Structure 1
């Protein structure tokens, strides 16, 4: 039996982000430009402005998101903090550069790390922190 394209894989862990300020549609566009995300599905809310659910694939994994709905939670979603989304990639410098070009802010430029990865961090325009890494090869990259 195959899993429908709009369904998350069973098992594993799928991050599900709350996007503030009615910008989930913008987030889908940004993740496409920055990380090569492909949209799987989006479900608009009844108000026509916000998304109640969206699902994209990035680097072989699922990411889900939705706009903030403070009318259901009692208050606006807090500023994102305490979570880092990590991308294990083939070329940290290329992925980092693409994210910066798409509008991410550099938190840590690519560097060779003691644990054996080339590693960088960016903050997306919606406040979420992303780390990007690839194992170092014999030439240091």
Structure 2
């Protein structure tokens, strides 16, 4: 099985209204880097690949055939407080204050304009969530 560099076996693929604005939000809020884009004849995004450090997601303009979808994403960040503030500045709405969680993450939550939830999580220890 071949999986392209930067992609995972399961890669999130979301459909949003105003995909151009959403791609800018991902860049402004989370520092995601656009690594590829294809467009339809009318210029809207057919597929835009956005890289978050070690993970890539795909974004497309919603249509009647593929309506807007929403999801929840768990994004590891270096500093949860700064990440939440940056996301809000880029247009997200806070849904959970940053707090230390019992599973050793410092985490806050935001909802983007497309309805997606982003859990912005700073790992506080260098160990797995669960020990076997």
Q: TM-score, normalised by structure 1?
A: 0.78
Aligned-residue offset at 1:8: 5.6
* Counterpart contact for 2:107–2:119, Cα < 8 Å: yes
* Counterpart contact for 2:101–2:107, Cα < 8 Å: yes
Aligned to 1:125: 113
Q: Give the paired residue count.
A: 123
* Equivalent in 37, 41, 52 of residue 36 of structure 2: 41
* Counterpart contact for 1:35–1:59, Cα < 8 Å: no
Matches within 5 A, 1:1-141: 7=4, 9=6, 11-20=8-17, 23-48=18-43, 50-70=44-64, 73=65, 77=67, 80=70, 83-136=71-124
Aligned-residue offset at 1:136: 2.6
Change (3 A) 1:26 1:111: same
* Counterpart contact for 1:95–1:132, Cα < 8 Å: yes
Aligned-residue offset at 1:10: 5.6
* Counterpart contact for 2:108–2:121, Cα < 8 Å: yes
Change (3 A) 1:8 1:25: farther
Q: Structure 1: which 5+ runs fail to align?
A: none
CA distance in 1, matches of 2:88, 2:113: 10
* Counterpart contact for 1:8–1:62, Cα < 8 Å: no
Q: Structure 2: which 5+ runs fail to align?
A: 126-132
Q: What SS does the aligned partner of 1:31 have? A: helix
